Structure 1
Amino acid sequence: MISMNYDNGLIFLPLGGSGEIGMNLNLYCCDGKWLMVDCGISFADERAPGIDLIVPDARWIAERREDLLAIVVTHAHEDHVGAVARLWDQFRCPVYASPFTAEILSLKLAEEGIEDAVEVNIVSPGSSVQIDAFHLDFVDLTHSIPEMQALMITTPYGRVMHSGDWKLDPAPVVGPESNLEKMQDISTGDVLAMVCDSTNVFKQGVSGSEGDVQESLDSLLARIPTGRVAVTTFASNVARVSTIAQIAERHGRHVVLVGRSLYRMTEAARKSGYLEDLPAFVKEDQAAYLPKDKVLYLCTGSQGEPRGAMARIARDDHPHVSLEGGDTVIFSSKVIPGNEKTLFALHNQLTDLGVNVITEAEEFVHVSGHPARDELARMYEIVKPQISVPVHGEARHLKEHCALALSLGVPEAIEIRNGDMLKLAPGKAEIIDKVHSGRLAVDAGGATPLDGEFLATRRRMIYNGAANALVIVNEKGQITEDPIVRLRGVVDEDLFPDLHEDLKQAIVKRHSELSKRDQTRDSDVEEAARQAIRRTIRRLAGRRPVTDVHVVRIEDEDE
């Protein structure tokens, strides 16, 4: 690596969102001063049991916060804004966001009790701001949430188009179409680099229009004249919420919002001037008084989240909403990779209730908010960057995006990962260093490293169970009582009737192999017993339980 020098030049550094989808955190440096673009979360999977949220490990930039000018948020999706409130205390810098995004952010700041501490600057969509040496032009692009703003970042060393999440939707339902005229105008002349969304790089053609989904859902609802209908989608997909509310009204159904995040998102949208023409939503506790064919539940939990509204309804655990035979559930969302098992289990639960389940596999009920290949090609045609820097994708997405960019005539494409410090100018663009990046699991009381010992122990306990032992010895180190072993989730003990006797004998035998000196040291006695337990259980059952041993040393009685 080349020796680091932040005092001159233009640098791009992702700490989240490159090599993965979600948890976006991007940094730009101009002459030693840093600008953060987005600070989002990711959602946990089975690798983080008991954890809901993952945030970027941003300690590298936190240690340089005196040079961090601001956080600029492109839009209000959780993977772009969700970690601002949780991590802001590490940064303590101003935040810039559009009106709708600021509304969503304000709720998160209030939850953390820091709404009065954070300076939030509201930037009108399509306007511009100057932050030290960075001049930012905001450009409207369509997405599945209002006010998605791409950024043309102009510096003394050149200009960078930071796309954020986007698509080219001719009928977006909520908000304006992508402002390609402005994109064309501000791209006139040399654009040094485009840092661009890679999510749908494998999808041929275009991503599809929200207006087309509206027509399809309208037709689908017309074919469901009886029974309750429940639709689940991402709470942040304000366009889809509007679509569903409009078609429900046309078919004489009242929309019932089910899930707190839907209430919060729709309230923020209305405060920002969206969804004003929709009929009032019915409250959950009032919906039971409506005829079955007059209700449409709009629910959270499209990915089968255990605490999401749809999962609670499926297991008959919701206080106000229930479904039965003859009702219909529409999953108006894609299956996020990794959620397949959870979602299919939810589909089966609903089917067992007699509910008709409809997904994107059966009907046209969802379009993505990210650009497919034709849309990417159109954007490269407009911006004409010298360098393509794909982000917002897994390794395979980034590699394919680089190949696509080169095939479109972009002179250079650089494949990057979290922590790669890319010097863009002056001189040849190249990765000059690798800095610390990582993931933190948000748990009770704070954040802990995703690859740390805490979660590693939790995973071991889930898959291998736990063993606790009590060993009583005298001052000379002799075991005076039978060791006591308690197992939790290790094996079905009814299948191993001799297991506890085997464990006792193994502990005593291993203890007898210690030297007289080691028998007088509690730490050595503990480790010997731990080894005996783990080896015995591994030999009999193939498990490696998390094992704790407590040694009680008693004084010898005086003669």
Structure 2
Amino acid sequence: MRSATNGPAIKADASFSPADDSVYFLALGGAGEIGMNLNLYGHKGKWLMVDLGISFGDETMPGVEVIMPDHSFIKERRDDLVGIVLTHAHEDHLGAVQYLWPDLEVPVYCTPFTASFLRAKLHERGLQNRVPIVEIPLGGRFEVGPFQLEYVAVTHSIPEPNALAIRTDAGLIVHTGDWKLDPQPMIGTTADEKRLRELGDEGVLAMVCDSTNALVPGHSGSEAKVRETLMELLGRWDTRIAVTCFATNVARLESIAVAAKANDRHVALVGRSLWRINEAARSNGYLADIEPFLSEHDAGYLPRDKVVLICTGSQGEPRSALARIAGGDHPQVTLERDDVVVFSSREIPGNERAIGRMQNQLVNRGIRIVTAEEEYVHVSGHPAQEELVQMYQWVRPKVAVPVHGEQRHQLEHAKIAQSCQVPHGIVPGNGDVVRLGPGPVEVVTQVRSGRLAIDGKRIVSLDNGLMRARHRMVHNGAAVATLVLNGRGELVTAPQIAVMGLLDDQLEHDSLLDVVDAVREAVAALPKNARLDDALVRDATRIAVRRSLNASHGKKPVTEVHLVRI
């Protein structure tokens, strides 16, 4: 198996077009990382997009909550883009549609549950009447440009997850999306083994496959066992119980509701995203046997031993319901000493600190927490090693393309595919244009890829200097110096210095005066001609401010100079 990342340097070609009869694969997001999936298939001059997702910011990206793949390559070729096909309704597979669709303006194809979830998100952006959504039934076949497509049922932690069979004149490709093999998924069907085997018999050129749990031996486990554990846990205590899980895991919501009812408890949803998923699920026939959930307001009227709260915030998101409850500032829900919080979820890499901080808040208030480390309260929605082997035995592709994972996951996945006698394989990175066939399987060129972010009300590139400047301000503070000079280059009044995030103006006034003196001396030391040059005065002032604060505080703040001449 070849790693495109570690292979020979490939010359970038910004003008690349899949104009020949080969079929190409290009990830602009989701290869070498988990999240932000954006996959493109190129054939006969056209492109097909599979998924368009987001990821979330962390402490390394101050002020940023949502991150997306840089779609500029396909935006510049939108006349050749024939459509967007969504495999399922997780944020890392469709969350960017509401932000980036206006740059693409093509039909979106998805199954009914995914369509319901997407419409709710589009409504938030005022796009509900603009985006053409084509609903495809489960197992449905449809044609988009030169691509003949078929949804194939798989199992995942959300209703209606799908693999895609993509037929082209160059061969058949199976794009697995997110999946696992669960003999008892609780909601939805098991993976369609019969159809996957039939595709293998038909002859599969390439399988582009989920790598998330390629390092995990064995099997991912069954949702049925989680339900059994919840049945026992919710009967163990006579205090108020809160359970946090991924909002999109409808099977888990049902399991919590079933377990609560068995223990004479009612269930309330706390968090907007849970209500959004509840509405999408019920409108598509899911949760049909589950009593309507209570609101957080209604739950307050029940005895503490008669309620279970399902809360958003399993990843420690600062504005989530559970984070506010842990901090004691939720307007309607409180937890008291000896109450219990069950974390029916896994930690997404990068969220460990936020989760730990929230759990410590809960423990410090005398609230008991239960995690998957102690009880069987969560199973992954992604395939472990034995499941990957099984899939390769069914599909039997000629080429393995591991995606949806960091490179260590992809490389381990590639080893598994090789052990399953897959003849060829390649580990792509974002921006690698991979020819799948006919001809040698290889990276033929590289195109622009990167990351965008929602920063307030705008979309910005994370590859420019914005985040670097923000990091410098976070770690070193910021300063603004205002100078007023006359026509001879003389200071008319003392420099005005404002320092943010570094000095306490009241307690460190003397330090601020030292900066003022340093600036006055720096300007006075300039030759007369230099004092008449705005750029030279600004540079001297900036250096003086940074040197003074570095000497006194060991910090070099981001410094701006305002210069006024009268």
- Residue aligning to 2:80: 67
- Trace 1:456-467 onto structure 2 (pairs within 5 A): 456-467=468-479
Tell me the residue number matched to 2:221: 208
In 1, Cα distance between equivalents of 2:332 and 2:258: 24
Letter in 2 for 1:455: M
Partner of 2:539: 527
Please name the residue that 2:365 is paired with: 353
Distance 2:185 2:484 in 1: 72
Instruction: Specify which of 30, 36, 60 is matched with residue 49 of structure 2.
Output: 36
CA distance in 2, matches of 1:262, 1:413: 40
Structure 1 equivalent of residue 293 of structure 2: 281
Output one character per residue of 1:299-355: Cα deviation in whole Å (capped at 9) or x when no partner.
000011110000001111111100001210001000111111111111111112111
AA aligned opposite 1:294: K
Letter paired with 2:529? R
Residues 80-122 of structure 1: CA distance to partner in whole angstroms, max 9, x if unpaired?
A: 0111121111111111000000001111121111221211110
In the TM superposition, what is the alpha-carbon distance from 1:210 to its structure 2 partner?
Answer: 0.4
Confirm whether residue 433 of structure 1 aligns to residue 428 of structure 2: no
Q: 2:181 aligns with which of 168, 178, 181?
A: 168
Write the deviation string for residues 198-222 of structure 1: whole angstroms up to 9, x where unpaired: 0000110000000111111111222
Alignment of 1:127-526 (within 5 A): 127-224=140-237, 226-492=238-504, 498-526=510-538
Q: Distance in 1 between matches of 2:563 and 2:17?
A: 55
Q: Distance in 2 between matches of 1:59 and 1:298?
A: 39
Aligned equivalents of 2:77, 2:109: Cα separation in 1: 19
Give the C-alpha shift of residue 265 in structure 1: 0.2
What is the DSSP-based 3-state SS (H/G/I as helix, E as strand, rest coil) of the residue aligned with 2:427?
coil
- Aligned residue for 1:270, secondary structure, equals helix
Structure 1 runs (4+) greater than 3 angstroms displaced = 1-5, 491-498
Structure 1 match to 2:104: 91
- Aligned letter for 1:283? S
RMSD (Å), alpha carbons? 1.4
In structure 2, C-alpha distance between the alignment counterparts of 1:6 and 1:286, rounded to whole Å: 57
Higher mean C-alpha displacement, 367-376 vs 465-474: 465-474
Amino acid of the structure 1 residue aligned with 2:23:
L
2:205 counterpart letter in structure 1: L
Distance 1:336 1:534 in 2: 39
Paired position in structure 2 for 1:82: 95
In structure 2, list runs of 5 or more residues that go unmatched: 1-9
Distance (whole Å) between structure 1 residues aligned to residue 59 and residue 76 of structure 2:
31
Is the CA contact 1:231–1:330 (under 8 Å) kept in the aligned structure 2?
yes
SS at match of 1:362: coil
Structure 1 residue 283: deviation in Å?
1.3
Q: Is the 8 A contact 1:388 1:413 kept in 2?
A: yes
C-alpha contact 2:207 2:401 (8 A) present in aligned 1:
yes
Give 2:293's aligned amino acid: F
Per-residue CA distance 1:414-446 (angstroms, 9 max, x = gap):
011110000112210110111011111112222
Equivalent residue, structure 1, for 2:24 = 11
The secondary structure found in structure 2 opposite 1:69 is strand
Q: Following TM superposition, by how much is the alpha carbon of 1:488 offset from its aligned partner in structure 2, in angstroms? A: 1.4
Q: Distance in 2 between matches of 1:153 and 1:413?
A: 18
Residue 96 of structure 1 contacts residue 122 of structure 1 at CA under 8 Å; is this kept in 2? yes
Q: How many residues align?
A: 553
Local SS of the residue matching 2:195: helix
* Partner residue in 1 for 2:557: 545
Output the CA distance in 1 between the equivalents of 2:369 and 2:450.
38
- Whether the 8 Å contact between 1:48 and 1:441 is mirrored in structure 2 is no
The 8 Å contact of residues 73 and 81 in structure 1, kept in 2 or not, is answered as: yes
- Provide the rounded CA distance (Å) in 2 between the counterparts of 1:145 and 1:303: 17
The answer as to whether partners of 1:230 and 1:328 remain within 8 angstroms in 2 is: yes
Q: CA deviation at 1:544?
A: 1.9
Amino acid at match of 1:11: Y
For 1:241 and 1:461, how far apart are their aligned partners in 2? Answer: 42
Give secondary structure in 2 for the equivalent of 1:393: coil
Is residue 329–residue 356 contact of structure 1 (8 Å, CA) maintained in 2?
Answer: yes
- Aligned partners of 2:184 and 2:224 also within 8 Å: yes
Q: Deviations over 1:249-295 (max 9, x none)?
A: 11011000000000000110010110010011111111111001000
- For 1:223 and 1:98, the matched residues in 2 are separated by 39
Shift of the alpha carbon at 1:361?
1.4
In structure 1, the gaps of 5 or more residues are 555-559
Which shifted more, 532-541 or 175-184?
532-541
The equivalences for 1:107-118 within 5 A come to: 107-118=120-131
Measure how far apart 1:496 and its partner are.
5.4
Match for 1:277: what amino acid?
D
Q: Give me the whole-angstrom Cα distance separating, in 2, the residues matched to 1:237 and 1:227.
A: 25
| Identical counterparts, % of pairs | 49
Aligned equivalents of 2:558, 2:265: Cα separation in 1: 54
Structure-2 separation of matches of 1:448 and 1:352: 39
Rounded to whole Å, the distance in 2 between the matches of 1:395 and 1:491 is: 43
Specify the code of the residue in structure 2 equivalent to 1:486: A
- The 3-state SS of whatever aligns with 1:307 is coil
Native 8 Å contact 2:472 2:557 kept in 1: yes
What is the SS of the residue equivalent to 1:216? helix
Letter in 2 for 1:96: Y
How far is 1:495 from its partner?
Answer: 7.3
1:36 touches 1:68 (CA, 8 Å); kept in 2?
yes
Quick one: which amino acid aligns to residue 77 of structure 1?
Answer: H
Amino acid of the structure 2 residue aligned with 1:419? G
Question: In the TM superposition, what whole-angstrom CA distance separates every residue of 1:42-64 from its partner, at most 9, and x where no partner exists?
Answer: 01111221111111110110100
Q: Whole-Å Cα distance in 2 between the matches of residues 215 and 464 of structure 1?
A: 52
Q: Distance in 1 between matches of 2:17 and 2:97?
A: 28
Question: d(CA) in 2 for partners of 1:315 and 1:279?
Answer: 30
For 1:557, the equivalent position in structure 2 comes to none
Cα offset, 1:497, TM superposition: 6.0
Normalised TM-score (structure 2): 0.95
CA displacement at 1:508 relative to structure 2: 2.3
CA positional deviation for 1:492: 4.8
Q: Distance in 2 between matches of 1:120 and 1:532?
A: 59
Deviation at 1:457, TM superposition (A): 2.2
User: Partner amino acid for 2:338?
Assistant: G
Which amino acid counterpart does residue 274 of structure 2 have in structure 1? L
